[in-house]
Structure 1
């Protein structure tokens, strides 16, 4: 199983604005239908620490993720998102080793 996952940990007091920005980015990327795009994305709120969030973005490969990262629209999205955050984000870059699906 080849795959790549990027986890972005961030804090924000503007969660609704971040969600709207993510949806805008996803819709535009889907409409343009050019270049690499994530396979799947999840946004999660930390139940134990208010204002702490994680975006979990899945790609087919590390190479596609890096190509996606170099896109001007991804750079613009990232800059706009960081403006909505309460401090810098932490990025985790993970090679996917296995996948389990449960009922």
Structure 2
């Protein structure tokens, strides 16, 4: 199974501003339709640790993720987001091994 997932862990007191920045970035990338983009992005808040957040970004491959990361607009987004964080941002780069979907 091919696939790549990047998890971004961060702390912020400005979650609404980061959500707005993320929406603007997504709209811009969708409008340009230039180069690989994430297949899905999930944003999560840690219930047990207020102010701690995770972004789960799914890509079709590691190569697509790295090409996306090398884009100037991705770097600009990352810099703006980091400026809104309360401390360093941590990245986890994961090869997708298995997906299980349960039927309800």
Same fold (TM over 0.5): yes
Instruction: State the Cα RMSD in Å.
Output: 0.5
1:40 to partner: Cα distance: 0.4
Give the 5 Å matches for 1:1-103.
1-103=1-103
Measure the CA separation in 2 of the matches of 1:24 and 1:7: 20
Q: Secondary structure at the match of 1:38?
A: coil
Measure the CA separation in 1 of the matches of 2:66 and 2:83: 22
1:28 to partner: Cα distance: 0.5
Measure the CA separation in 2 of the matches of 1:3 and 1:95: 6
Measure the CA separation in 1 of the matches of 2:33 and 2:90: 28
Deviation per CA, 1:42-75: give whole Å up to 9, x if none.
Answer: 0000000000000000000000000000000000
| Unaligned segments of structure 2, at least 5 residues | none
Measure the CA separation in 2 of the matches of 1:101 and 1:84: 35
After TM superposition, the runs of 4+ consecutive aligned structure 1 residues lying more than 4 A away are: none
